[in-house]
Each structure stands twice: as C-alpha cells, then as structure tokens.
Structure 1
Amino acid sequence: MKTKLLLLFLCISAITYAQKTDPIIEGMIKEANENSQLENLAHELTDLIGPRLVGTPQMQHANEWAVAKYSEWGIPARNEKWGEWRGWERGITHIDMVYPRVQSLRGTQLAWNPSTSKEGVTAELVVLPSNVKDEAGFKNWLPTVKGKIVLISMLQPTGRPDYNWEEFATEESFAKMKEDRDTQTKAWRDNMKAMGHNSRTLPAALEEAGAVGIVTSNWSRGFGVNKIFSARTEKIPTVDLELEDYGMLYRLVNSGNKPQINIVAQSKDLGKMPTFNTIAEIKGSEKPDEYVILSAHFDSWDGGTGATDNGTGTLVMMEAMRILKKYYPNPKRTILVGHWGSEEQGLNGSRAFVEDHPEIVAGVQASFNQDNGTGRVVRLSGGGFLHSYDYLSRWLNAVPKDITQHIETTFPGAPARGGSDYASFQAAGAPAFSLSSLNWSYWNYTWHTNRDTYDKIIFDDVRNNAILTAILTYMASEDPEKTSRVKSVLPVDSRTGEPRVWPSPRSPNRKGGLD
C-alpha cells in the first residue's frame, strides 16, 4: 500500500512539475505579462476606430484593422462576407434647451435615425397623457402632438442608484423610495398598455400624428448612464437624453413652463453595406481539419465605444492569437479565431459562419467565447456536454492557480439558447464554452451604454483572460483525444413539465434593416 501511495505521489509530482516547466506555457505567460499589446490594441480599437455598429464605416474599418494586425503578426486573416445591412453613419448630435433659458443638454441620436437639417428642429416639448382609459382616449389625444417634440420615457423619481441609497439613506427612506418607484412604474406600464402601445410601437404612432421629434431617457440605474439602442422613427429625430437633463425638461413641462429644445442630429444613410466576419487561422500541422476556435463578437452598439461589449473579448482573442503564434506556431490542430459581426442583433455573424461552414463545425475540438465585460473569468460551464468535465478539467489543470482559483466550474451544465456566439456552435452540437467574467457593474454601467469606454477596461483581468485562453487553446490542440459530443439529458422544464430539448441551429438575418 505504501509503495502504491509513493508511486501515486511521484506521478502527481511529475505531472505538476511538467506543467510548471512546459516551455510553451512558460513562454506564453511571460509574453503576456512582459510584452502585452492589450493597452495599445484597446486604444486603437476604441479610441481611434470607435464604436462598431453593424452597417457603419467604423465596423468595416475595424474589420480591415484586424486583418492588418494579424498580418503584422504573421497570421493569415480574411474578411468573410456573410450578408448586407442598412448602412448608416453617425454625425454630430447637439441638443439645446432654448426656452425658458439656454442650456446645452447631454444626449445623442439613436442608431439608424435619419438626419435633421443643419439647423435642426426647434419645438415645444410635451409629455404623454396620464391615466389613459383606453386606446380610443389615446387616439383622441394624439392630434395634440402635431408640431411638438414628445418626451416618452417615465420621469425617474431619483437619479441615484440603489447602492447609493443603501449606503446613505435610512432604512425607512430607502424602503419608501422603492415602494414609490414601484408604484409609479406599475402605473406607467398600465397607462402604456391602455394606450395600446409599447416602447417599440409608440414612436411610429407619434410620428404619424405629426410630432417633429422624440426624446427618450433609457436610464441604466447608475450615475449618468443610459442604454443606447436604435430609433423607431422613419423621418423625425429620436434622441436619448441623460436622466438629469431629461428630468429637468419633464418637470418644466409639468410646471407649465413650456420648454423648447433644438435638436441637431446629423447622420448619413449609406444604403446597402456588406457585413463581414473577420477570420484568422494558424494552420494545424497534424490534424488541420480539426479546430480550436477562439470566439468574440466584433460589433457593438454606439452610445460609447464598445470597450467592454465586446472590445475586451476581442482583445483577449487577438492577444491570445498573437501569443500562440509566437510560442506555438505549429499547432497540432488548426487554431481559428472568429470576430463575429452583428451579434447584437441576434448572433447573426456566428450563425452565418455555422450555416456556411458545416465542415469546420464538424471538426471543432473546442471553442472558447468571451463576451460579458472586462472582468477576470470566474465561471465555466460544460455547456450540456456529458463528458465535458473529462477534458475541460484536464486543460484547466495546466493554467496557473492564481487564475483558476477564481473560476467556478459547472458540469455538465446546459446549452445556451442565445446570449452570445457560443450558443450558435452549441446549437449545432459543437463543444463551445463561455468564459464568463466578473461583472464590474457591467449590466448597469457599461452594457450597451454611453459609458462603455476605454477607461472602464481592467487590463490586469483582461491579461489573465488572454493567458487562460491561450493555455486552454494550446491544451485543446495538443490533446491526443477528440472531444466527446455526447449530450447530457436535460432537466424537465418547470413550465411545461416536459424534458427540455437541445436548441436547434437558427438561420441569421442576412439583410438587416433592408426590408
């Protein structure tokens, strides 16, 4: 028995020593820590190129930039067209209150909105009616918006996030605020329902009734932060104002002071624009038809510069590829990176790749996707693949403990039904995994917001994620065994009482905004 224990100890020690002294892993870690390109890549991507809304020249600039970067590193790369999108380019947005006093306001035009003239639109503001009884009552009110700019978001009772209230308010005051806000929110939603509209349909109804502009404030529950998406009007400007300015205008309307604003929202309609995925490859030396895929979406919304959604995921994959090329230039399997387009509108780029390249999907050894913000990776699920523990745990064992100590694993897990691009591969049966990160207030402060900018990137965490990705890719490529695709039996759906089924591949939208 003692002999067996001694042999086991020696074997474990030998494995641990081999992992610690693997020259490829050591070289990759040293390169990531001492010669990181992350800060420079982030500057060029977010500050120089900026936001990467699908169908814009900035998105195409980013595609071309990535190909050039990979070429500098000796990695063959290409831009692969998968569809077409409504072309649009943002110009200058300037919003000013001109009555009862003059003040420049903080806001921006929403995506794909038509341009105003250089002089813009000046008009009095109105708010939606309260206590609407039914659709007929709302239709009777609609003619009053002719020639007016309409505020269509709820007036928030506070501009302070809940954590600020928790720190400074009394328990009674905080509870009262939340109760009042919940009551107001319910009344707002009930009123909107009585109108027969929602936030998607209301702007078009107001435009048809003669409104000359729409103002929203899609507050994201943080100081100075709003979600910025797309416009729902065809001819009139739609802008989003930060909560502080929006609330001031709303209160001025309610107090009878008849505020007026001027909206200048310059933009260009560019017609039909091609859309691309940027693909780069390090060809496999032994099994070129088997693939380890690094995955991150390249596009963003354009309220900020797309730094954490998904600039940081893009940086992780680019830096991992650079490091792999330098220290592992002849991988056993082909290493492919996909920078997907139009993830934000429904995983379109990755779904197109899966649909267009069944031979690559069939050869996937593993795919690693990173999307949800700048933090260090803290969760890894087996994605519903029954034997995922066998290989993922083996690969993770080669990663430094100061990185893996933060990672919680779940096996076998469950397949995704959306959310990010790994779901496109999982639906096709390929073992794809999300490197899910610590949120750093992602949902409130940077996800799809006007504050998603370079300064929010936590480079120490992103650097660790690049090391993690490079080592997992190396281990997956070198693994003598092909990964199992056996799917686990999914649990019963509590709503239907029936067993859940594996998601099916979905076709992409290849002609966005062109219908």
Structure 2
Amino acid sequence: MRTTLKLFLTFVLLSGNLVIAQDKDEIVRDIVKEATENSQLENLAHELVDVIGPRLVGTPQMQKAHEWAVEKYKSWDIAARNEQWGEWRGWERGITHIDLVYPRVQTLEGKQLAWSPGTSKKGVTAELIIIPEVKDSIAFQQWLPSVKDKFVLISMNQPTGRPDSNWEEFATEESFEKMKEARSAQTRAWRERIGKTGLGRRTLPVALENAGAAGVITCNWSRGFGVNKIFGAYTKKVPTIDLSLEDYGLLYRMVEYGDQPKIKVVAESKELGAVPTFNTIAEIKGTEKPDEYIILSAHFDSWDGGTGATDNATGTLVMMEAARILKKIYPNPKRTILVGLWGSEEQGLNGSRAFVEDHPAIVENVQALFNQDNGTGRVVRLSGQGFLHAYEYLGRWLEKVPQDIRKHIETTFPGTPGGGGSDYASFVAAGAPAFSLSSLSWAYWDYTWHTNRDTYDKIVFDDVRSNAILTAILTFMASEDPQRTSRERSVLPISQRTGQQRTWPSPRKPNRKGGLE
C-alpha cells in the first residue's frame, strides 16, 4: 500500500512538472507567433523615428517622445509614467541653411551642432579662414584677431572621402599604402598644429568666438561615404556648423588657393531655458513576487544629426514590443516587469544613474535587467558581466529561446563588469545582475553611431524582431524562475593596461542640471 501511494505521488509530481514544462513551451511558442504574425515594430518605428524624430535631451522632440510612449503603453493596457530626474538646457533646432555665395553659388550639406547658438533669420555672411601653422601659443594669440567677422575652419581637410574598404577593393596595394601613410602624416601634422595653439577641442571654439569670429566650421568625418558624426557645440554666442567632407574640402581648398570664399549661414535654433527631463517607466505588476523585478532597458534619447534610428530607437522598439507581447501572452507575471526608457544616456548615462540613485529598493531586488543599445543588428554576444553564477540562470533561460535565434549568440562567463557604454552599467555598478544584449555591427560605428545617416532606412526589422523575441522569452523565463539570481561577484582579472587587479565599478552620480551650471 505504501509503495503504491509513493508511486502515485511520484506520478502526480512528474505529471505536474510535465504540465509546467508544457505550459512554458506553449507560452514561448505564443510569444514567437505574436512577434512574427502581429508585429508592431514598423508602425512604432515610423511614429517614433519619422514623426517625432531625433530625441536630443532638452528638446521638445524628447518631451513628445516621452508623452507618446506613455500613451502607447496605455493603449496596450500597460501602466506607464514619466518620472522626472533633473533639468537640462532647453534647445530647439530650427531651419538651417548653408550656402557658398562667392566665388560661385552652391547650397552646402551640413548641420548646426546640438545646442549651438543660432543666427537671425537673415543669417550671417562672411569670408572663411583656416587655423594657421604657428610656432607656439603666443604666436597663436597674436594671430587670433585675424578671425574677427570670419568663419573659421578648425578641422583637418581629409585627403580622401572614400572609406578604407573602398580603397582596399579597387586601389593597388601600393596606392592604398601610400594613401594611408600620407593620411597618417597629415593627421599628426594637424594635431601638432592645433596643439601649438595651446587650446583643445573644447576651448578652441570658445577662444575663436571671444575673438569675434562669425562662426566655427567643423568636419567630423566618420570614415564612410557621406557620413559625419554630429555632437554638441562649445560656442555660446556664434553658430558652430559641421559640413560634409565634400563641402568642407571644397571650402578649405578655396581658402588655401586664395579664392576668398564666402558663405551664408542661416541657423534658426532657439534657446528654451531650463526644461525638465524624464525617464519613461512602464510596469506590468507581478502576481507572486511583486517586489522582485525584471527590467527591460534602453535609452530613449539620441543625438540629432539623423533621427536616432539605430541609436537607440531600435533598442527602444525591442523593449516596447517585448512588453506589448508579454502583456498579451503573459499578462500575470510572477515578478514585476519594468521597462525603463532612459533619458540623457548620451551625456553620461544620466537617466539610468538617477533611477539607480532614486530607487535603491528596486535595484536591490532586480532579478535581471536586459539592455539593448548598439544598433539594429541581431544579438550575437551576451556576457555574464562578472557575476560568478550568471551562466547557471542565463543558461537555463537561453535554452527556451528558439535555436534559430540562440545559435547566433556567443556567451562569455563570468565575463567582466561593464564600467560604462550603456545603461546596464549603471545597474552593474550597484551590484544588480544587468546584461547587455550586444548586437551585430551592420557598420554601426562608422555609418550610424551618432551620425547624420542614422535614419529609418538603416533599421533591419528582421533582426529587431529577433531581438524582441529574445528579450520577451528571457524576461518570461526570469519571471518564472523559482530561484533568485545570484549576485556573487567573480574575482576580476589583472588589467593589462595597469598591471593591477581590476576592481568592480562604483556607482556614479548623474548630472541633474545639464548645460545649466
């Protein structure tokens, strides 16, 4: 009788485990089905990237994005809020027009840098001048009055507008090597030229505007056809403009050959004073362990050379789509699912650092955080971030991910903790198990990272859809896991750079008053 009862109980237990396993498999299948047959990614991308556009912190477009996200979550029956964490220098980009007006007329391709002062609607017309070769900083100060009422070209004129890959494909080996050697020599000479002024990239534009320059002209080429990095201006009174390599080179050569070129710049940007800055937080409340959290993480802000499509609209879309799918397929998670769309990542992870600082109880109870940032590509790397036992739980969760997605992912355990780079690092520094879903490049660093070409057409939706499926399944598995994830840290290796043992990164304070102090 006892043997029969024992066998019966064993059968019930095994049957129960089998049902649970079947339920998990069914939910995973439904996640994949929803993501592939009812994807919202293209619509979300159009609304965020095309209609709202770039999301520079402190701009009306950033505020519109926060409001749009809250409404979109609510349409999916997901609670959401915009949580203020600081203030930023408010600024709005206006119409920018740059024209060569002498010795001939041509409209030039360029962008006013972020937070650059504007011009009147009539614009500014002036001749151009190049930073000269000087003996030392004293000689530079003697030359400085020459810039009054002139636009100053402060970047090196690149010897070629062709990326190295193009040279490698078509040039002879001798010609390619000759070009690279000449470029290296020219780059060293230009660095020495700027160095002898006694000023750096931040202080040189300020010195020029203080000397009465009409404006500052740069060319921050990104080593690809037609692509430039677009960052922020350091001037406070006169416009800073970045020109395409092709047009910058045109003006530079005209100055060198004594053609006395003139350009007209109209830049109708507006200063808006101090404006509040936010994180957008969405929440699907847990039913069994509501005070434990899985966080889906992406930064919401961007630079505004393009429309911030792959940095980081794609990461944002992954997290929003994963949340939508989970709410529909898995509406009653065991643990609470949060989605953090962080502000001002680009200026130093400020939004996520503020969240970590403001919500220690949540950070203390994070089961896992998944962050996606580096472009549109499918996820191909996952590191344990230095957490000693990360391979145990991440390995269990990954087993449920379809093979056609999982096969691309290279794992590194225990790995080393990220000290920066994206928002997961804010949580890692606080000891929370936070992981970067690192993507295939798709020429990210040269062609879309912080560039004027980071636009909707660069999104690879098959890869983004794959990442949404991956994120949703990992979140589901993390929520269902009966075990709490371990936070035990590995012993970090010796740094090859310093020869000292690496230490765990420390939490850093956010800048809560950007551009205002």
Report the alpha carbon displacement of residue 498 of structure 1 after superposing the two structures with TM.
2.1
- 1:303 counterpart = 2:305: yes
Rounded Cα–Cα distance in structure 2 between residues aligned with 1:39 and 1:197: 46
Report the alpha carbon displacement of residue 494 of structure 1 after superposing the two structures with TM.
2.6
Report the alpha carbon displacement of residue 220 of structure 1 after superposing the two structures with TM.
0.3
Match of 2:504 in 1: 502
Rounded Cα–Cα distance in structure 2 between residues aligned with 1:303 and 1:400: 37
Report the alpha carbon displacement of residue 154 of structure 1 after superposing the two structures with TM.
0.3
**Among 439, 446, 449, the residue aligned to 2:448:** 446
Q: After the TM superposition, which residues 259-408 of structure 1 pair with which residues of structure 2 at under 5 Å, given as runs? A: 259-408=261-410
Match of 2:106 in 1: 103
**SS at 1:246 equivalent:** helix
The residue identity in structure 1 corresponding to 2:211 is: A
**SS at 1:262 equivalent:** strand
Rounded Cα–Cα distance in structure 2 between residues aligned with 1:503 and 1:237: 38
Name the CA shift for 1:455/1:19 in 2 (closer, same or farther; >3 Å): farther
Q: Which runs of 4+ in 1 moved over 6 A?
A: none
Q: Deviations over 1:164-218 (max 9, x none)?
A: 0000000000000000000000111111111111211110011111111111010
Report the alpha carbon displacement of residue 19 of structure 1 after superposing the two structures with TM.
6.8
Rounded Cα–Cα distance in structure 2 between residues aligned with 1:151 and 1:191: 13
**Among 117, 121, 127, the residue aligned to 2:130:** 127
Q: Is the 8 A contact 1:20 1:26 kept in 2?
A: no
Identity over aligned residues, as a percent? Answer: 75
- 1:52 counterpart = 2:49: no
Q: Is the 8 A contact 1:49 1:61 kept in 2?
A: yes
Rounded Cα–Cα distance in structure 1 between residues aligned with 2:284 and 2:364: 18
Q: After the TM superposition, which residues 101-180 of structure 1 pair with which residues of structure 2 at under 5 Å, given as runs? A: 101-130=104-133, 132-180=134-182
Match of 1:457 in 2: 459
The residue identity in structure 1 corresponding to 2:385 is: G
**SS at 1:277 equivalent:** strand
The residue identity in structure 1 corresponding to 2:163 is: P
Structure 2 gaps, min length 5: 1-13
Rounded Cα–Cα distance in structure 1 between residues aligned with 2:216 and 2:409: 45
**Among 33, 51, 58, the residue aligned to 1:30:** 33
Structure 1 gaps, min length 5: 1-10
Match of 2:485 in 1: 483
Rounded Cα–Cα distance in structure 1 between residues aligned with 2:380 and 2:498: 32
Match of 1:468 in 2: 470
Match of 1:77 in 2: 80
Q: Deviations over 1:250-277 (max 9, x none)?
A: 0000010000000000011000100000
Rounded Cα–Cα distance in structure 1 between residues aligned with 2:444 and 2:471: 21
Q: Is the 8 A contact 1:19 1:398 kept in 2?
A: no
**SS at 2:31 equivalent:** helix
Match of 2:5 in 1: none
Name the CA shift for 1:226/1:307 in 2 (closer, same or farther; >3 Å): same
Rounded Cα–Cα distance in structure 1 between residues aligned with 2:37 and 2:199: 56
**SS at 2:303 equivalent:** coil
Rounded Cα–Cα distance in structure 2 between residues aligned with 1:208 and 1:276: 34
Rounded Cα–Cα distance in structure 2 between residues aligned with 1:25 and 1:497: 46
Match of 1:6 in 2: none
**SS at 1:91 equivalent:** coil
Report the alpha carbon displacement of residue 18 of structure 1 after superposing the two structures with TM.
4.5
Name the CA shift for 1:66/1:236 in 2 (closer, same or farther; >3 Å): same
Rounded Cα–Cα distance in structure 1 between residues aligned with 2:500 and 2:445: 32
Rounded Cα–Cα distance in structure 1 between residues aligned with 2:393 and 2:85: 33
User: TM-score scaled to structure 1, two decimals?
Assistant: 0.96
Q: Deviations over 1:462-512 (max 9, x none)?
A: 000000000000000000000000000001123333211101101100000
**SS at 1:204 equivalent:** helix
**Among 168, 184, 187, the residue aligned to 2:186:** 184
Q: After the TM superposition, which residues 216-255 of structure 1 pair with which residues of structure 2 at under 5 Å, given as runs? A: 216-255=218-257
Q: Which moved more, 1:196-205 or 1:357-366?
A: 196-205
Q: Deviations over 1:435-472 (max 9, x none)?
A: 00001000000000000000000000000000000000
Rounded Cα–Cα distance in structure 2 between residues aligned with 1:235 and 1:499: 47
Rounded Cα–Cα distance in structure 2 between residues aligned with 1:98 and 1:19: 72
**SS at 1:195 equivalent:** coil
The residue identity in structure 1 corresponding to 2:409 is: I
- 1:197 counterpart = 2:167: no
Q: Is the 8 A contact 2:221 2:245 kept in 1?
A: yes
Paired residues, number: 502
**CA RMSD, Structure 1 to Structure 2 (Å):** 1.4
Rounded Cα–Cα distance in structure 2 between residues aligned with 1:208 and 1:443: 34
Q: Is the 8 A contact 2:310 2:374 kept in 1?
A: yes
Rounded Cα–Cα distance in structure 2 between residues aligned with 1:401 and 1:146: 64
**SS at 1:167 equivalent:** helix
Q: Is the 8 A contact 1:90 1:268 kept in 2?
A: yes
Match of 2:7 in 1: none
**SS at 1:443 equivalent:** helix
Q: Which moved more, 1:106-115 or 1:490-499?
A: 490-499
Q: Is the 8 A contact 2:377 2:460 kept in 1?
A: yes
Report the alpha carbon displacement of residue 20 of structure 1 after superposing the two structures with TM.
9.8
Report the alpha carbon displacement of residue 303 of structure 1 after superposing the two structures with TM.
0.4
Q: Deviations over 1:7-28 (max 9, x none)?
A: xxxx9xx98x947971111111
Q: Is the 8 A contact 2:25 2:400 kept in 1?
A: no
Match of 2:425 in 1: 423
**SS at 1:22 equivalent:** helix
Rounded Cα–Cα distance in structure 2 between residues aligned with 1:491 and 1:250: 49
Rounded Cα–Cα distance in structure 1 between residues aligned with 2:498 and 2:74: 52
